[in-house]
Amino acid sequence: MKNLSVVESHLERWAKPSIPLIDVRTPAEFRSVHAEGALNHPLESLEAEALPFEKSETLHLICQSGGRSAKACQLLEAVGYEAVVNVEGGTSAWQAASLPVVEGKKAMSLERQVRIAAGSLIVVGAAVGCFVHPGGYGLSAFVGAGLVFAGLTDTCAMGMLIAKMPWNRG
């Protein structure tokens, strides 16, 4: 997997417009804002066999900050794609560099949805533990452990689950 900055990706695609830019964020995130010319193929449902590209073709992959696109690059390389490029910094860096974007209906980012869900579960667990039964603290501990695991492994089971919710699917 090759890594390029957003500016390097933009320049490479400007010099060779046939290079596709694949945005692996959720459809809701994509609709809110995406790099001009990007195609949406969400990571949660990314099936390498269904992509309309040759395995020898150069593909640039982008997400919000670079994590999901790096995972998508690894997935595509594992099934034989030879020239996948991770766009470092993602759509956030693309916007910060004042590169062209398409803005649409604002949507809540997946990361924000995860923070709201995790925080809510921790508060509910603490409230149940305090007012109903001490076992409620277990929920807070479980969510806290999940957050630590997500931070250490750079994978988030809650994020993958929330990404499959109807409001994030399209």
Match 């690059």 to its residue by tokens. 73
Cα distances from 143 to residues 21, 44, 94, in angstroms, run 35, 22, 32
The pLDDT, as a whole number, for residue 107 is 73
Does CATH number 3.40.250.10 belong to domain 2-103?
yes
- CATH code 3.40.250.10 region(s) in the chain: 2-103
| 3-state secondary structure string across the chain | CEEECHHHHHHHHHHCCCCCEEECCCHHHHHHEEECCEEECCHHHCCHHHCCCCCCCEEEEECCCCHHHHHHHHHHHHCCCCEEEEECCHHHHHHHCCCCEEECCCCCCHHHHHHHHHHHHHHHHHHHHHHCCHHHHHHHHHHHHHHHHHHHHCCCHHHHHHHCCHHHHC
Cα distances from 17 to residues 4, 11, 13, 89, in angstroms, run 16, 10, 5, 21
The pLDDT, as a whole number, for residue 160 is 87
Q: Is 63 a catalytic residue?
A: yes
124 phi/psi in degrees, rounded to 5: -60, -45
Please report, in tens digits, the pLDDT of each residue of the chain (170 residues total): 899 999 999 999 999 999 999 999 988 889 889 999 999 999 988 887 778 899 999 999 999 999 999 999 999 999 999 999 999 999 999 999 999 999 987 778 888 999 999 999 999 999 999 999 999 999 999 999 999 999 998 888 998 899 888 888 76
The pLDDT, as a whole number, for residue 48 is 72
The pLDDT, as a whole number, for residue 110 is 85
Total residues belonging to the chain: 170
Q: Determine which one of 63, 73, 130, 156 is catalytic.
A: 63
What pTM was computed for the model?
Answer: 0.70
